[in-house]
Structure 1
Amino acid sequence: MNGDRRGWRACALGGAVFAVCMAGTTLPTPLYPLYREKFGFSELTVTVVYAVYAFAVIGVLLLVGNASDTVGRRPVLLWGLGCATASAVCFLCATELGWLYAGRLFSGLSAGLFTGAATAYVMELAPHGGSSRATFVATAANMGGLGCGPLLAGVLAQYAPWPLYLPFVVHLALVACSAAVLLRLPETVRERRPLSTVRPHGPVLPAQVRAVFAPAAIASFVGFALFGVFTSVSPAFLAQSLDVDSHAVSGLVVALAFFASTAGQLAVGRVGARRSLPLGCAALLAGLALLAGALHWDLMTLVVLSALVGGIGQGLAFRAALTAVAQASPADRRAAVISTLFVVAYAGISVPVIGVGALTGPVGLPDAGLVFIACMAVLASTAAAYLLRRPLPARA
């Protein structure tokens, strides 16, 4: 019993470190209007700045997504916290647009180092037999941290001094605390090898994973694409179309999507991954429809509902996808396979978002959003149709 308690305590602390790192990646979200005002760049530039982060994540996952399987979880996570520190310093020093690119690049490196390694680490810290609960801790830490970033920055920017500096100072303090916690947690990789043995691996998909990977990857792509649009362009839409100029409100709207995702993930424990993935696809379709209505009629209520419904759908689909893929993966390649799933997810954050930014100039933000919604609806429908014909294995 004491061993189980220590295991769950370590699992929770690992999740807290995970959440702190991910919060830093969304911290600038409600601040983009202030940066636009300060540096005078376009909406396309906002989406490109945002996408630099996603491309950095993808690069790390493809090149060294398996590093923690080799050198250990803790060293990789400490490197991730170092990159998070460098990101915050870049934003604190930002005197021109190049600093924002550098800050987002380091932020992407930190997220890339954390996503596969921290997910596997949290699951391994849990007591034996607690994999389902540990998967929730990992995914909730990921999405909950992403939600806390814009909420923290929005509140500080609205009600505290130095809106472009104080959020990053606070995050630096949290990162320092996280490093201290991480140094006290145990290493879970038994047979570690030198860093020189780590090789770029590309996407890792063992034969036993491929049957569940396709629908899991499509659902993850759509869910993260929805979040990508929310975090990159929703502050501009709220300000331009709904006359909402409160940084706290724009941060809260973005945070609601991530918190709803955590609620959706919690529901997977009761519903089961096998049913949660198609249900999540259906909820994503509903969230996309609500977002289309919000863009067409300029209604704040529909923006909030789309964040809640779409977030729940993303949570259902993503935790189910992660559970199915992790269960099908061999233990010695789990972090690499999880990293491959995150590559697809972060492609969803980056590519569609740049498309929306590029279309905003010629057709306007609402119409660009509608084009995005139509494309994502086709993908979500495809995943749902696939799952109806070939459900996940019964053990999921």
Structure 2
Amino acid sequence: MHSTVAVPAQRNTLAITACLLAIFTTILASHMPTPLYAVWQQAWGFSATALTAVFSVYVLGVVLTLLTMGSLSDQLGRRQMLIPGLLFILLGSVAFMLAGDIYQLGCARLLTGIGTGMVTGAATAAVVELEPDGNWARGATLSALAFTLGAATGPTISSLALRWTSHAHIWPFLIVIGLSVIGIVLLARAPWPAHLGQRQQGFSLRNWRPTPVRVPRALLGSFLFSAAAICLAWSTGSLYSSLGPSMARNLAGVSDLALAGLFAAGWQLVAGITQFAGQRQPLNRLRIAGPVMLIAGLAAMAGAVLLASVWLFTLATLATAMGAGAIGVIAIVTIARSAPPAERGAMTSAFYLAAYLTMATVVLSIGFASDHFGMVNSMLGFTILISCAALGLMLVRRRA
């Protein structure tokens, strides 16, 4: 009897590891190019508008994939969706290595975006389902941790490659290719429970047609709350990922370019650690602590912008990361608990669809506002807007 109980747990552990590696590799690949854009821009002479277009192409790939194939893993199977997704990530990294102009760079970003859309929803749903003891909170938190660690590690590797190697456009993407291959092998070889994430009986890929991401009406309330929470968390994260180094240099007075570039990675790392620690806390406590910490960090950011203070900017980075990390745990645990197995892939994809659309909207809006009203005024407006949203999220959930 002991052997029959232990085998499924071991099998689930290997499958969970493969899914978490898929998430980590995908988000690593998504954030890897961030410090390299300035190098490509200097070498090829493209404008800031063209760089914004490249970013939009990536989001377009993610969004289109989530919209058309968000529910496919519910029918085809989780593993059957993850392996092709990692192949797109691998091809995107190869395209980055070989890119010679802005159009090839856009193609590489598009491939990466498609792979990200295929992997994120399916892998997160699989990790939650594969938890052997039914610990949904742990599965959801591990997925969120893989996201944030990938986001932190990507720009860190590229920054170190820029400082220590002469081929910074090659080595980081070789790492992504290697991790993609390992992830594909693990997914192919890991034993998978027969009752989880398998092809539905009677499903035929030949007869399949793209279906929009959907949310059951009965679960709309829980979905809207979790989507609002993840959008709030990712708004601050996307700000640091896109404009963190510029803010550190131009607003906080950080003269070291390498140090300025690591603020984005540091934000993601602190957010990841917070998410890991947050799984031990009651959700009711996180619903208060997360927004309060985020608002305090945004206040410190406003002070750093007005006073050009490196120390206040560092404090703002730590506080906003902790607040956003706690809010991210609330969002992912809520969506994981509310989504039934037959709808989990579709609902998770809709969840990340909202997050990616918010990420693109925030970055493009702040960039537009900075050109017309200046970066200082744009950052102050951002802190006020996100603080009001955090307060609203806390009050709405307390009333519910």
TM-score, with normalisation over the residues of structure 2?
0.90
SS of the counterpart of 2:280? Answer: helix
Partner residue in 2 for 1:258: 268
Shift of 1:388: 2.1
For residue 175 of structure 2, the aligned residue among 170, 174, 184 is 170
For residue 297 of structure 1, the aligned residue among 299, 307, 331 is 307
Shift of 1:60: 1.2
Q: Identity across aligned pairs (percent)? A: 26
- Separation in 2 of the partners of 1:197 and 1:346? 29
**1:73-88 mapped onto 2 (5 Å cutoff):** 73-88=78-93
CA pair 306-140 structure 1, distance change in 2 beyond 3 A: same
Shift of 1:191: 3.9
For residue 344 of structure 1, the aligned residue among 340, 354, 362 is 354
**Match of 2:221, as an amino acid?**
A
Shift of 1:146: 1.4
**Match of 1:323, as an amino acid?**
V
1:277/1:318 contact within 8 Å kept: no
Partner residue in 1 for 2:66: 61
Partner residue in 2 for 1:134: 139
CA pair 94-365 structure 1, distance change in 2 beyond 3 A: farther
CA pair 195-147 structure 1, distance change in 2 beyond 3 A: farther
CA pair 382-41 structure 1, distance change in 2 beyond 3 A: farther
For residue 374 of structure 2, the aligned residue among 354, 364, 380 is 364
Partner residue in 2 for 1:118: 123
2:245/2:262 contact within 8 Å kept: no
For residue 363 of structure 2, the aligned residue among 325, 349, 353 is 353
- Separation in 2 of the partners of 1:170 and 1:209? 40
**1:227-266 mapped onto 2 (5 Å cutoff):** 227-241=237-251, 242-247=253-258, 249-266=259-276
**1:1-396 mapped onto 2 (5 Å cutoff):** 2-3=6-7, 4-187=9-192, 188-192=196-200, 193-241=203-251, 242-247=253-258, 249-390=259-400
What runs of 5+ residues in structure 2 fail to find an aligned partner?
none
CA pair 67-378 structure 1, distance change in 2 beyond 3 A: same
Q: CA RMSD in A?
A: 2.1
- Separation in 2 of the partners of 1:112 and 1:153? 23
CA pair 235-145 structure 1, distance change in 2 beyond 3 A: same
SS of the counterpart of 1:164? Answer: coil
1:158/1:246 contact within 8 Å kept: no
CA pair 366-104 structure 1, distance change in 2 beyond 3 A: farther
2:136/2:336 contact within 8 Å kept: no
- Separation in 1 of the partners of 2:380 and 2:103? 31
Shift of 1:131: 2.2
CA pair 115-95 structure 1, distance change in 2 beyond 3 A: same
Partner residue in 2 for 1:394: none
Deviations 1:29-50 (A, max 9, x none): 1222222322334444434422
- Separation in 1 of the partners of 2:355 and 2:392? 16
CA pair 377-19 structure 1, distance change in 2 beyond 3 A: same
- Separation in 1 of the partners of 2:52 and 2:298? 19
TM-score, with normalisation over the residues of structure 1?
0.91
SS of the counterpart of 1:195? Answer: coil
Deviates most, 334-343 or 79-88: 79-88
Deviates most, 277-286 or 25-34: 277-286
Shift of 1:218: 1.6
**Match of 1:10, as an amino acid?**
A
Shift of 1:342: 0.9
**Match of 2:117, as an amino acid?**
G
CA pair 275-371 structure 1, distance change in 2 beyond 3 A: same
Shift of 1:294: 2.7
SS of the counterpart of 1:270? Answer: coil
Deviates most, 60-69 or 355-364: 355-364
- Separation in 2 of the partners of 1:233 and 1:42? 16
**Match of 2:235, as an amino acid?**
A
Shift of 1:125: 2.4
Deviates most, 255-264 or 190-199: 190-199
CA pair 51-225 structure 1, distance change in 2 beyond 3 A: farther
1:47/1:353 contact within 8 Å kept: no
- Separation in 1 of the partners of 2:106 and 2:380? 28
1:238/1:245 contact within 8 Å kept: no
Deviates most, 238-247 or 21-30: 238-247
- Separation in 2 of the partners of 1:273 and 1:325? 13
CA pair 186-252 structure 1, distance change in 2 beyond 3 A: farther
1:83/1:106 contact within 8 Å kept: yes
2:297/2:316 contact within 8 Å kept: yes
Shift of 1:140: 0.9
- Separation in 1 of the partners of 2:60 and 2:288? 28
